[in-house]
């Protein structure tokens, strides 16, 4: 039976996905790299170094390790500066209502974000205490699409993977949830997330009822 729901952060609970994009775009523009909003889709859910590798590949450019590290730091500085404006007003509509419904149903709530800034973001959003466990992106060996962070989160909540369901807005994240043996709820269109088990346009549209029935339909 379902015991816990594990959420991605960026693009699921708040619009930081846009800030990540803007920070990558600024880096790309400053260094003459090929990048645009379309190319950014492939970066969603991908960790910092993996994202830069993808951008460099697209441009067909290689950089030495010190330069690579400096570029990562530059992107993060831009991103962190954008986070300074974040407050509870940046929490997507409906998150608090959904969390309250999950709690009332006796379900645990976990966070499985690839972001090293995740703790700072949830603190700014005022939801740091809402989670039974926050998985540490820096502590897992393999980033999404590997299942590691979702498995670590289930484990941290004292649950087995088959007792959990995952919520994601990125293809890499949906793949990670399935690899962890969990049902995957996609925030976005079927076109954007073809592998998700169910789709809702935004987190505010997701109900406890949908979560429970998604679990039952896919449980063999
Ligand atoms: C993911 C985002 O949640 O975190 C990616 O979808 C981002 O866009 C990744 O690159 C890593 O974030 P950070 O904050 O560690 O650079
Ligand atoms: Mg995301």
Query: How does pLDDT run across 184-211, given as a tens digit for each residue?
Result: 999 999 999 999 999 999 999 999 999 9
Instruction: Give the closest ligand to the alpha carbon of residue 137.
Output: 1
The residue whose C-alpha atom lies closest to atom 6 belonging to ligand 1 is: 45
pLDDT averaged over every residue in the chain: 96
pLDDT at 176 over 90: yes
Instruction: Give the closest ligand to the alpha carbon of residue 44.
Output: 1
Give me the pLDDT at residue 218, please.
Answer: 73
The residue whose C-alpha atom lies closest to atom 16 belonging to ligand 1 is: 48
pLDDT at 64 over 70: yes
Give me the pLDDT at residue 200, please.
Answer: 97
Give me the pLDDT at residue 216, please.
Answer: 84
The residue whose C-alpha atom lies closest to atom 13 belonging to ligand 1 is: 115
Average of per-residue pLDDT across 109-125: 98
120 belongs to the catalytic site? no
Share of the chain above pLDDT 70, in %: 99
10 belongs to the catalytic site? yes
Contacts from 176-179 at CB under 8 Å and sequence distance 24+? 176/45, 176/112, 176/144, 176/145, 176/146, 176/147, 176/148, 176/149, 176/150, 177/6, 177/147, 177/150, 179/145, 179/146, 179/147, 179/150
d(CA 99, CA 103): 6
Which of 8, 25, 46 gets mutated to test ligand 1 (max ligand atoms within 8 A of its CB)? 46
Which of 114, 120, 153 gets mutated to test ligand 1 (max ligand atoms within 8 A of its CB)? 114
Q: What is the pTM of this model?
A: 0.96
| Distance between Cα 6 and ligand 2 center (Å) | 12
In this prediction the ipTM stands at 0.99
pLDDT at 219 over 70: no
Peptide bond between residue 155 and the one before it cis (omega within 30 degrees of 0): no
Give me the pLDDT at residue 162, please.
Answer: 96
pLDDT band at 215 (very low <50, low <70, confident <90, very high): confident
| Distance between Cα 8 and ligand 2 center (Å) | 6
């Amino acid at each position: 039976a379902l015991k816990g729901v594990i959420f991605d952060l960026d693009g699921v609970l708040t619009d930081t996905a846009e800030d990540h994009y803007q920070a990558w775009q600024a880096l790309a523009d400053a260094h003459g790299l090929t990048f645009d909003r379309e190319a950014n889709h492939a970066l969603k859910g991908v960790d910092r170094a993996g994202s830069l590798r993808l951008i460099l590949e697209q441009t067909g450019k290689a950089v030495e390790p010190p330069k690579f590290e400096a570029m990562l730091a530059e992107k993060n500085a831009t991103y962190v500066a954008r986070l300074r404006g974040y407050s509870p007003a940046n929490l997507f509509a409906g998150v608090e209502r959904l969390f309250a419904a999950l709690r009332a149903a006796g379900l645990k709530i976990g966070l499985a974000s690839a972001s090293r800034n995740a703790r700072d973001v949830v603190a700014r959003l005022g939801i740091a205490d809402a989670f039974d466990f926050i998985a540490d992106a820096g502590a897992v060996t393999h980033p999404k699409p590997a299942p590691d962070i979702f498995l670590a989160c289930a484990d941290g909540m004292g649950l087995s993977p088959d007792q959990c369901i995952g919520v994601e807005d990125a293809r890499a994240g949906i793949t990670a949830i399935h690899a962890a043996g969990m049902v995957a709820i996609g925030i976005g269109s079927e076109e954007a997330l073809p592998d998700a088990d169910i789709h809702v346009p935004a987190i505010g549209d997701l109900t406890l009822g949908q979560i429970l029935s998604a679990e039952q339909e896919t449980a063999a």
